[in-house]
Amino acid sequence: MDTIDVNKLHTTELGKERIKRNIGLDVNEVIAWCKQADFTSGKEYAVRKGKNWYVYTNDIVLTIHAASHTIITAHKVKQMPVYKAQDK
């Protein structure tokens, strides 16, 4: 089964700056923040579309490359999307 290995998550220097800018994050340890971004609330979920995972938690969506575990970007979302059972 294809899953996200949280221990392998990483990003580039440009990715860190993009994530911080897009979601207004004011921390230096972006990866640590992403790893603990309220993934214990029970309200988060991940959906794979093509080569990327989209991880939704609270008002943030993280885009993660499935093969390399690279966090590509993060964005604020006003409402979490609703997916059909086969989309999850």
Domain that holds residue 73: 6-79
pLDDT in tens, 21-31: 999 999 999 99
Q: Residue 4 in contact with residue 64, Cβ under 8 Å?
A: yes
- Total tally of structural domains belonging to the chain: 1
DSSP states along 49-86: ETTEEEEEETTEEEEEETTT-BEEEEEE-SS-----GG
* In a domain? residue 54: yes
Whole-number Cα distances in Å, 56 to 13, 60: 23, 6
d(CA 68, CA 86): 24
* In a domain? residue 52: yes
pLDDT in tens, 24-76: 999 999 999 888 765 555 567 888 999 999 988 878 899 999 999 999 999 99
* In a domain? residue 59: yes
d(CA 41, CA 50): 26
